[in-house]
Structure 1
Amino acid sequence: MTGVTERPETAGPSARLGPQARQDNWDRLGSEHFDVVVIGGGVVGTGAALDAVTRGLRVALVEARDFAAGTSSRSSKLFHGGLRYLEQFEFGLVREALHERELMLTLIAPHLVKPVPFLYPLKHRWWERPYTATGLLMYDTLGGARSVPGQKHLTRAGALRLFPGLRHDALIGGVRYYDAQSDDARHTLTVARTAAHYGAVVRSSTQVIAFLREADRITGVRLRDVETGAEQEVTADVVVNCTGVWTDEMQRLAGTRGRFRVRSSKGVHIVVPRDRIAAESGLILRTEKSVLFVIPWRNHWIIGTTDTDWNFDLAHPAATKADIDYILEHVNAVLATPLTHDDIEGVYAGLRPLLAGESEQSSKLSREHAVARPAPGMVAIAGGKYTTYRVMAKDAIDAARADLRGWIRPSITDKVPLVGADGYHALVNQVDRLADEYGVHPHRLRHLLDRYGSMVYEVLALAEGRPELLQPIPGSADYLQVEVVYAVTHEAALHISDVLTRRTRISIEYPHRGLESADAVARLMAETLGWDDATIAREVDVYRKRVEAERASQTEPDDQAADDARSAAPEFRPGVAEPVV
């Protein structure tokens, strides 16, 4: 087998999170004192690490599983203002979210965040159009129509031209408006790599198993490398708990009484092929509980979501048959050609960390997120939504100032593009030339640019002398084999689930859920990670059992049965232990 030799790390900070960086970062964790240790590799944790390191602080970020392994890879994948908040008169929240959306589209992540149109169907004559127009005018005025078009009113015929797949009796007209979308897992990973680029120690598969204390002060954490079992202590001036739905567990492990509690709400989405619904835009529908989105997603539609309490395994929320039936029932109420279970390519379930306030006097609560200092040397943040992750991260590091020495500079992440953003627009204009240079189809190159931005050069460089890496992954025509190699050498992928579920979205975009690609992906990863045949076979077997368990859970009638079915699958990271409290 032809091996891929990882190039030496360049001097100074690097966004490269390969095996050598992983070892170097473990050594640094044990030998350096940090101003800030961030726990949690979701979008808020990676955002907090980036916020802190760009203020000039010494920062470490640790994640027990994989980056975006929880909520941050299982969202609706939207950067949106939140139309429903307008009805609740939460104008400040909408303005804040739209401001963040604008930053992502124009400066911070134009390679990852893209505009997406939606149709808002109207069902009632006389009152609904002016009512909706007023709300969307406020949406546009608050910041929604800067880099995207403003609202456009449509007759029934106009709405049906935009979304021919709707039943004619499902609407009397419509309004088109714009929001934005992104691959949440890839965006979160890119935030983590940007933090590393500016000097943060960033490491996955690294679990906090205890907190260090001096009297009543938190002074650091004890870590376990869940891949090797090695342990060591890390000291810090302040520890920031950004663990989302695990916030309460982490507070108990620290021996602190939380200033708020977190409730886990399950949101389920289904993925269907693009040709199953005839439409040129997304769709937003009112339901008796909230809203339902039909979201364009490359060659697919993402449809969701649900909103139900979840009281079982936080790492692996399971979708039930009832969840899937709920989504199908509501979307089929307006579709001319109903969807069936056979149309579903993928299903995913995520957990929202919703606040259940305990003491609003001792925490800085808003409707969206809360920041608290439960003990000297510790800050906790929870709640919020993906769109406002940067604001949440800023608030968390602002709260950490009380435990940091000296004058702390203000946040500047509203001026810091993510890696891959610089030069992206110029490369888009050069697609045809670059496609000829590297021998790939222009469509392929555009796809790569929208996943890696200007880091596309790093990706393609790995295929020099190995043209077979520019061929699709077996069973997954939308992704190239070189992307698997890059996931290992630059993006911290350690298991095939990291690649099939988060570095790519093969696990939800293909009916085989990644099974037809698992062996090829494992063999590509083995070149850099040094796996033998037994390790390759184990990785593929664990993935197969995980897919089988998820499929089984999706036929169960309730959460308990679905959790039992999903829990039957083995773990890729068996070294991750539940906190002993």
Structure 2
Amino acid sequence: MAKAKESSAEIVQGRLGPAERQEAWRRLGSEHFDVVIIGGGVTGAGAALDAATRGLRVALVEARDLASGTSSRSSKLFHGGLRYLEQLEFGLVREALRERELMITRIAPHLVKPVSFLYPLTKRIWERPYTAAGLFLYDTMGGSKSVPGQKHLTRAGALRMVPALKRSALIGGIRYYDAQADDARHTMTVARTAAHYGAVVRTSTQVTGMLREADRVAGVHVRDVETGAEIEVKAHAVINCTGVWTDEIQRLAGTRGRFRVRASKGVHIVVPRDRIVSESGMILRTEKSVLFVIPWRNHWIVGTTDTDWNLDLAHPAATKKDIDYILTHVNKVLATPLTNDDIEGVYAGLRPLLSGESEDTSKLSREHAVARVAPGLVAIAGGKYTTYRVMAADAIDAASPDLPGRIMSSITDKVPLLGADGYHALVNQADQLGAKHGLHPYRVRHLLDRYGSLVHQVLATADGNPELLRPLAGAPDYLQVEIVYAAACEGALHLEDALTRRTRISIEYPHRGVESAEAAAKLMAGVHGWDDKRVAHEIEVYTARVEAERDSQTQPDDQAADARRSAAPEARPEVIEPVS
């Protein structure tokens, strides 16, 4: 097995590799931090970046993997939330659209891209002006300038844009724009950027208790779920950014929270691009909410559902009922219906909604709440992926009474993520970069949209090992070097991390990553020093996970699906599940 060559003089920005992991453990046990953040989703990663760029000493700990919860299982959109206009949540929409603009133009242009949607019109007279008025607000709120405005289409024009639609499914349409990103890669890049600015970032590191000094929280007990080792991490403030686990961490702290979090399950399916002939995504009304058909490279993502979930928070399971719901609603408008045989991938995520009086999760607010629930302890929950940066800044602000001295204001609206600087120039140089490394320019552009200007680091990982620039077995959209880089620099500790989050092989191929597992595990072995037994174990655990997920997706209800999914072994078996 060829091992990636690495120059000793090379400095990799924000590297999360084996050596950095070992050093992070030493620092966690020996330093006194201003802030310890619990949770490696986008809010926690954002809070770590916010704190680090204010000059604070910050540590981020995550029990599993970066973005392993909600932040890798979203609709993958940076959007204002068109339906929130109807709920009169103008402030939320304005804030989200401002964040969308920042991401596209300054913070993450390599990761966040404009994407068009067709809004099919089905009612005569009133629907077009009503929708146009809403979209006019949408196009002008929050300083939106980087995406085109709405365009009105006749039925014939809409069908030319989306030939897949039934003629009877619409009387006209309006095209508008939002933005999308690979949520898991974006979250990981936020965390790496935080590490670049000095944050200690460590995954597979579970909080098992709180440290106390008199009546205040003064840090956390943590456990390395890979080795079982335990240490204490001291800090002036602890911030609970655990999303749907917020209430569990509150119970661990022995404090009563100011709000409660309710988990709403959202399921998406992934189908090949040629199954829906269209130049644009679509947004479709349902009786409960909306259904998105979202372009995703050579695929479409179709979703989502919106139902209560009260079972395993780590592994929400999609059911046959969920999948049938999506197929039924999208097939109402498609000339050629989708079938179960068309589905390449399925994923289920949990929205951390603030609990309210409504029993309908689709009507619960997507506003976030932040509270100093005890001296030294802040909790933040709710919100939506798009506004993660605002949530992060609010969380650090809320911790300020517990921090020594005056803290600086948030500046993350001015801080590009790693890979953003130089990205646009590299897009123009894709041909030259491809020629230098023997890659097709299309392949280089694909890499640029995943790594931005960090592409040089990725390609340098293959120096002396040109075979690493060949496609990965079973997943030709990805290069072997991407798996090596994921393990060496992006914090991927297990095969599951690489196949489900650093790449999206687990949802983009009908085999769900099984046909790539052996090749990927052997590539990771070269970084982590795995022996044959460990390689076989990683493959076995990953394959069992895929089989359990497939099985759960044939079950009629949540209880049955959860039982099948929960039967699969954990990649991190030392994780302690909270007791509710």
Report the TM-score range of the alignment, normalised by the length of the smaller protein.
Answer: over 0.9
Mapped to 1, the partners of 2:24 and 2:387 lie a distance apart of 29
Question: Does the C-alpha gap of structure 1 residues 367 and 70 become closer, same or farther in structure 2, counting only changes over 3 Å?
Answer: closer
Give the residue type in structure 1 aligned to 2:511.
H
Give the residue type in structure 2 aligned to 1:200.
A
Q: Detail structure 1 runs of 4+ shifted over 3 Å in the superposition.
A: 4-11
Mapped to 1, the partners of 2:567 and 2:37 lie a distance apart of 32
CA drift of 1:141 comes to: 1.6
Match of 1:276 in 2: 275
Give the residue type in structure 2 aligned to 1:3.
K
CA drift of 1:328 comes to: 0.2
Mapped to 2, the partners of 1:4 and 1:165 lie a distance apart of 45
CA drift of 1:546 comes to: 0.6
Per-residue CA deviation, residues 19-41 of structure 1 (Å, 9 max, x unaligned), is 00000111111110000000000
Unpaired runs of 5+ in structure 2? 358-363
Match of 2:553 in 1: 554
Mapped to 2, the partners of 1:528 and 1:302 lie a distance apart of 33
Check the 8 A contact 2:5/2:465 in 1, yes or no: no
Match of 1:414 in 2: 413
Give the residue type in structure 1 aligned to 2:57.
R
Check the 8 A contact 1:37/1:59 in 2, yes or no: yes
TM-score (norm 2): 0.97
Match of 2:245 in 1: 246
CA drift of 1:450 comes to: 0.2
Mapped to 2, the partners of 1:551 and 1:10 lie a distance apart of 43
Match of 1:531 in 2: 530
Mapped to 1, the partners of 2:579 and 2:383 lie a distance apart of 27
Match of 1:482 in 2: 481
Check the 8 A contact 1:115/1:179 in 2, yes or no: yes
Per-residue CA deviation, residues 228-263 of structure 1 (Å, 9 max, x unaligned), is 111100100000000000000000001110110000
Match of 1:109 in 2: 108
Match of 1:361 in 2: none
Q: Does 1:26 align with 2:25?
A: yes
Q: Does 1:425 align with 2:424?
A: yes
Match of 2:361 in 1: none
Check the 8 A contact 1:259/1:357 in 2, yes or no: no
What pairs up with 1:317-466 in 2 under 5 angstroms?
Answer: 317-356=316-355, 368-466=367-465
Per-residue CA deviation, residues 30-77 of structure 1 (Å, 9 max, x unaligned), is 110000000000000000000001000000000000000000000000
Match of 2:360 in 1: none
Give the residue type in structure 2 aligned to 1:185.
A
Per-residue CA deviation, residues 427-448 of structure 1 (Å, 9 max, x unaligned), is 0011111111111110000000
Mapped to 2, the partners of 1:529 and 1:56 lie a distance apart of 32
Higher deviation after alignment, 83-92 or 405-414: 83-92
Local SS of the residue matching 2:387: helix
Check the 8 A contact 2:281/2:292 in 1, yes or no: yes
CA drift of 1:143 comes to: 3.6
Per-residue CA deviation, residues 515-540 of structure 1 (Å, 9 max, x unaligned), is 00000000000001010000000100
CA drift of 1:90 comes to: 1.4
Match of 1:91 in 2: 90
CA drift of 1:468 comes to: 0.6
Question: Does the C-alpha gap of structure 1 residues 484 and 367 become closer, same or farther in structure 2, counting only changes over 3 Å?
Answer: closer
Question: Does the C-alpha gap of structure 1 residues 549 and 203 become closer, same or farther in structure 2, counting only changes over 3 Å?
Answer: same
Per-residue CA deviation, residues 538-566 of structure 1 (Å, 9 max, x unaligned), is 10011111100000000000000000000
Give the residue type in structure 2 aligned to 1:222.
H
Match of 1:237 in 2: 236
TM-score (norm 1): 0.97
Mapped to 2, the partners of 1:212 and 1:561 lie a distance apart of 39
Give the residue type in structure 2 aligned to 1:177.
Y
Match of 2:567 in 1: 568
CA drift of 1:465 comes to: 1.1
Mapped to 2, the partners of 1:342 and 1:288 lie a distance apart of 26
Mapped to 1, the partners of 2:320 and 2:554 lie a distance apart of 5
Check the 8 A contact 1:81/1:95 in 2, yes or no: yes
Per-residue CA deviation, residues 97-156 of structure 1 (Å, 9 max, x unaligned), is 000000000000000000000000000111100101111111112147410100000000
Local SS of the residue matching 1:121: strand
CA drift of 1:579 comes to: 3.2
Match of 1:58 in 2: 57
Mapped to 1, the partners of 2:495 and 2:460 lie a distance apart of 22
Match of 2:2 in 1: 2
CA drift of 1:219 comes to: 0.2
Give the residue type in structure 1 aligned to 2:90.
F
Match of 1:298 in 2: 297
Match of 2:48 in 1: 49
Give the residue type in structure 1 aligned to 2:517.
A
Q: Percent identity?
A: 77
Check the 8 A contact 1:22/1:203 in 2, yes or no: yes
CA drift of 1:4 comes to: 3.3
Local SS of the residue matching 1:106: helix
Give the residue type in structure 1 aligned to 2:569.
P
Local SS of the residue matching 1:44: helix
Aligned length: 574
Match of 1:160 in 2: 159
Check the 8 A contact 2:5/2:461 in 1, yes or no: no
Local SS of the residue matching 1:517: helix
Unpaired runs of 5+ in structure 1? 359-364
